[in-house]
Chains A and B, each alone.
Chain A
Amino acid sequence: MAAPQQPEHLWRTPEPKRAYDVVIVGGGGHGLATAYYLAKNHGITDVAVLERGWLAGGNMARNTTIIRSNYLWDESAGIYEHALKLWEGLEDDLGYPIQFSQRGVLNLAHSLQDVRDSVRRVNANLLNGIDAEWLEPEQVKEICPILDISPDVRYPVLGATFQSRAGIAKHDYVAWGFARAADALGVDLIQDCEVTGIDVHDGRVTGVQTSRGPIAANRVGLSAAGHSSVLAAMVGLDLPIQSHPLQALVSELLEPVHPTVVMSAAVHVYISQAHKGELVMGAGIDSYNGYGQRGAFHIIERQMAAALELFPVFARAHVLRTWGGIVDVSPDASPIVGLTPIEGLYLNCGWGTGGFKATPGVGWCFAQTVAYGAPHPLNAPFTLERFTTGALVDEHGAAAVAH
């Protein structure tokens, strides 16, 4: 598939104004989508997105682009399925090619407990109106012929869940599509603008201090993934978040060999093949807290060992590039989206290893949260207070990688 022709400029490069109605901190996928839906759904266009580096240069540039909605609990099904439905119309909505490819996702089961959990999740998905099937090993092989389903390996494939509407998209194009559309609606995208402080008076947010001067704002939405704790600390707000390195890698370009997305929580790897031909792989986080955007090579070695166990055909493929991002891991593997104790300050974080798939969904819901000062029904369960009330949304199973 040929890359789309890019116009010379996708968005303006404005100087920051001294005041905005809404400031979104973080110019990644979530921040850009939030700004877009603020303008499109709510007519709020006096909006700045502040990005300390370049647009979509953090986790949006580093993730493995898997999109799916096959989570266990109703709360998660709600927001992830809302996102998936938006993905299905996003190219038309943004007027921008995003190479969204619904090639399906297989979540493999390797033990009897895996099988039970997977069948339970399929049933939960079906009850929530989400497409899901349980497949026996031979059916798995039909969908992905290069997968080794022989019983004489250390962790044989005992079956898999399959969501056929799942898939991948071209992450950069997604970000650029949201950025261009938001810009066209009047949103200012300010790059190279680091937030160094958040102004609060009488319990209400009044603006932010930045590397490009102070910017006043009636409302501020934090959407900074791995750096959320650092931002929240500026107003004395503690978050139940730990930032970890998460690594991924690509192989050199190969002929199309891998028709779907395969994830295995047990042997611990997830693999798809990008449109261009690279095998894209990821696995679990590095164990320690880290803000360095890099991890250790033994993590890469383990995930390649797991990949070879599943796909012996990859034995001669070469690693082209590995990299790391910083993910904001929450205690229950679910996000924190909603209000804070400070009036006008809103929080979107805790997506951990799985935020990309939610991009349009959380943008939609977070925009409404900011617009009305009250949570959208789909992010209402994902409060900061749930860690005190105990109403956790435990998605460690469906999150598919060990957090």
Chain B
Amino acid sequence: MLLIPCPWCGPRDETEYRYGGQAHIAYPEDPAAVTDEEWARYLFFRDNPNGPFAERWCHSAGCRRWFNLLRDTVTNEILAAYRIGEPRP
């Protein structure tokens, strides 16, 4: 089980969190203007690296706040935890 450092609460067990997939995906500024291809990319395509990955987690059984985690998807090593709005370290 992962020990995830919530930026507000500190390290807690993975079972307290919900996963939110890739971080830093912006909603299209003008959804009506995008092409089908761009819309498909926004809806369905996410990075899937074997290595460092910036992802969202929600501390759903704790402070209930979203934050971002930089984690290695091969080793599960957690490289950084940072708040929403902060740039990827």
A-to-B contact residues, CB < 8 Å:
227, 229-230, 233, 238-243, 287-292, 296-298, 331, 387-390
Contacts and interface: CB of A to CB of B under 8 A. Distances in A.
B73 A292 contact: yes
B73 to A, nearest CB: 5
Contacts of A243: 48, 50, 73
B55 A289 contact: yes
B76 A229 contact: no
B50 A227 contact: yes
For the complex of A and B, list the 7 residue pairs with the smallest distance between their C-beta atoms, beginning with the closest.
A229-B48, A287-B19, A240-B44, A388-B40, A291-B50, A296-B1, A387-B44
B53 A292 contact: no
Interface of B: 1-2, 14-15, 18-19, 21, 36-37, 40-41, 43-46, 48-50, 53, 55, 71, 73-76
Given A238-B45, A239-B45, A242-B48, 14 more contacts: A229-B48, A230-B49, A240-B46, A241-B48, A287-B18, A288-B2, A289-B73, A290-B74, A290-B76, A291-B73, A291-B74, A296-B1, A388-B36, A388-B37
Given A288-B55, A289-B53, A290-B76, A239 B1 contact: no
Nearest to B38: A388
A290 to B, nearest CB: 5
**Max chain B C-beta neighbours (<10 A), residue from A238, A243, A289:** A289
A99 to B, nearest CB: 34
B73 A290 contact: yes
Contacts of A240: 40, 44-46
Contacts of A291: 50, 73-74
